[in-house]
Amino acid sequence: MSSPLPPSPACSSVLDLAPVLPVVVIDDAAVAVPLARALVAGGLPAIEVTLRTPAALGAIRAIAGEVPEAVVGAGTLITPEQVDEVVAAGARFLVSPGWTDTLLDAMRASGVPFLPGVSTASEVVALLERGVREMKFFPAEAAGGTAYLRSLAGPLPQARFCPTGGVGPDTAPDYLALPNVGCVGGSWMLPADAVAARNWARVEGLAREAAGLRP
């Protein structure tokens, strides 16, 4: 990733802010602020809002403007235009499911830290060649899971990952125990029924459990 990331002076990366990066799909921007506050209160300050719904940009803008203790980022980025839009909305880090040279150039030019997605050793090597050492491993479970990441640690120890895709509370500790994993991404602390019911106390409790998952 490109530049130091607050809030903690000891943290230079979103990978180090918490063991779990919540991956959030927001259908109604009105829930963005209380949802973010619940996650932060539970110990998960970094929040990835995915660009999978029309409400996503408004949600990023609301969190950035009203929850300063949150580090809000944008996920599912696939075009340079999206990079510009989310940075303008207040995103403090960027996440993509994969990458191309064009998308990578746009993320780098934004000045905002970024995690480009990879699923093969060749993609990892290509990013290392371009000076990128922190990546999203996606789709983690389908792409080989902990066994695959463990096998990358020997020949490519300089690469660090945020595995996302099929990771849950039962498997997260196994990923977090790997030397090349900084955090994992997931959405299990945001069950649909809890969000629909605006049960932020439940979300906060699940976030707190997730924040304590690192071995």
The per-residue DSSP string of 176-191 comes to HTSTTB--EEE-TTS-
Catalytic residue among 48, 123, 134, 141: 48
The per-residue DSSP string of 111-179 comes to TS-EE-EE-SHHHHHHHHHTT--EEEETTTTTTTHHHHHHHHHTT-TT-EEEEBSS--TTTHHHHHTST
Q: End-to-end alpha-carbon separation of the chain, Å?
A: 25
123 is catalytic: no
Catalytic residue among 136, 141, 204, 209: 136
141 is catalytic: no
Q: Residue 80 class from Cβ within 10 Å (0-12 exposed, 13-18 middle, 19+ buried)?
A: middle
Q: Residue 73 class from Cβ within 10 Å (0-12 exposed, 13-18 middle, 19+ buried)?
A: buried
Burial 156-181 (b: 16+ CB within 10 A, else e): eeebbbbbbbebeeebbebbbebebb
Amino acid at 19: P
For 98, the token pair is 């994969």
Report CA Rg, the chain. 16
Give me the active site residues, please.
48, 136
